[in-house]
Amino acid sequence: MRKLVLENGAVFKGKALGSDQAGQGEVVFNTSMTGYQEILTDPSYRDQIICMTYPLIGNYGINRDDFENIIPHCAGMIVKKAAVHPSHFRRERTLNEWLNHHNIPGIQGIDTRKLTRMIRTGGTMRGVLSDSTESVEEARLRAAAVHSGDQVRNVSASQQYWYPGRGRHRIVLIDYGAKKGIISHLLKQEFEVISVPWNTTAEDVLSLSPDGVMLSNGPGDPQDIPEAVQQVRKLAEVLPVFGICLGHQLLALAFGADTEKMTFGHRGGNHPVRHLESGRVAITSQNHSYTVREASLAGTGLNVSHVNVNDGSIEGLIHESLPLFSVQYHPEAAPGPTESAVLFDQFKALVHEQTGGTIHA
């Protein structure tokens, strides 16, 4: 028997999934029906235990192509039922085999609806996964003591990577825990991409002669990395910038706005977002716990471009005079609906406009 114990004392008894090692982290839920491979390898889930609300996970196995990072960074996985015999022509391993291979613990067979409702009302909670015979109170105390920090430092690559691309314009991607999908979309726009570690100084970024800067997604609280915020501000004054998720939050902080933690965040592939100027709604892929505080935007030069249709939270920002924009959701859609990929076209157009170039088809 394996159990999940939350910091509020709730106990969920189920069966083992993945590694036998004890797991601990912040328990979050994701409403995507598919895309578990991309979700498990998204570095933004660092130190989090992911509960999938869809009841059958793993039915098409794990393949060699759909990774968002070389290794998974999440702390655990919770499913109602993990498929034992996945069926897909690209499948190479089962979910259970792959979790074992990467030493990630999980639990299956618990009431994931009950857990999700508990998080929706009580907020994101810390929890532990264990096989041990420790008492519930001991496990609860362990859960309440879970502390995460240094998440970006732990997931960002420690060196530069160069992706030649086919275009004339060079983008420096600041890697706070970047998903492969972002790099693929930049290359599709024919940008040359240089990804740099999260703590690269603005001066070192500028020495690479970029035509624009992409601020990636990443784990944790954006306020944990004030040194990165300072560098973003310097870059935003001189170059076109596009920020995604953590990158969006860092851009807001760089201009003096504030961020706060949401009760349970947004995670899934079906979040409706309204573009205020056109009134058009896009269905988006999301994975975040923090949000930009609307009241804090006054006087920053940043305006709200997109809002979440469900709860009205800020989903996009645009600067009133500088060539900068950002979104809280995931236009790279890995996994998720691809309709927001147009934002990468808009970034290309912005970079070309700023550099005086023309777009080559």
Ligand X SMILES: NC(=O)CC[C@H](N)C(=O)O
Q: Which residues are catalytic?
A: 245, 330, 332
The interface mask with ligand X, positions 211-230, x = CB under 6 A, is ------xxxx----------
CB of 111 or CB of 260, closer to ligand X? 260
Under 8 Å CB-to-CB from 98, ≥6 apart: which residues? 62
Total residues at the site for ligand X (CB under 6 A)? 11
Query: Residue 128's beta-bridge partner residues?
Result: 5, 24
> Under the criterion CB under 6 A, does residue 290 sit at the interface with ligand X?
yes
3-state DSSP call for residue 267?
strand
Nearest distance from residue 146's CB to ligand X, in Å? Answer: 16
Nearest distance from residue 353's CB to ligand X, in Å? Answer: 27
> Under the criterion CB under 6 A, does residue 326 sit at the interface with ligand X?
no
Residues 7-46 touching ligand X, rule: CB under 6 A, are 44
Q: What are phi and psi of 43, to 5 degrees?
A: -60, -15
CB of 195 or CB of 217, closer to ligand X? 217
C-alpha span between 58 and 315 (Å, rounded): 30
C-alpha span between 287 and 196 (Å, rounded): 23
3-state DSSP call for residue 60?
coil
Cα 152 vs. chain centroid, distance in angstroms?
Answer: 11
CB 55 within 8 A of CB 84: no
DSSP string, 72-117: ---SEEEESEE-SS---TT--B-HHHHHHHTT-EEEESS-HHHHHH
CB of 53 or CB of 289, closer to ligand X? 289
> Under the criterion CB under 6 A, does residue 289 sit at the interface with ligand X?
yes
Choose one: 7-15, 106-114, 135-143, 283-291; the region binding ligand X (CB under 6 A).
Answer: 283-291
CB of 110 or CB of 307, closer to ligand X? 307
CB of 129 or CB of 314, closer to ligand X? 314
> Under the criterion CB under 6 A, does residue 284 sit at the interface with ligand X?
no
The interface mask with ligand X, positions 233-272, x = CB under 6 A, is ------------xx--------------------------
Note the residue count of the chain.
361
Nearest distance from residue 275's CB to ligand X, in Å? Answer: 20
Nearest distance from residue 267's CB to ligand X, in Å? Answer: 9
How does 348-361 read in b/e, with b if 16+ C-beta sit within 10 Å?
Answer: bebbbeeeeeeeee
Binding ligand X by CB under 6 A: which of 287, 300, 326, 340?
287
Binding footprint of ligand X on the chain (CB under 6 A): 44, 217-220, 245-246, 287-290
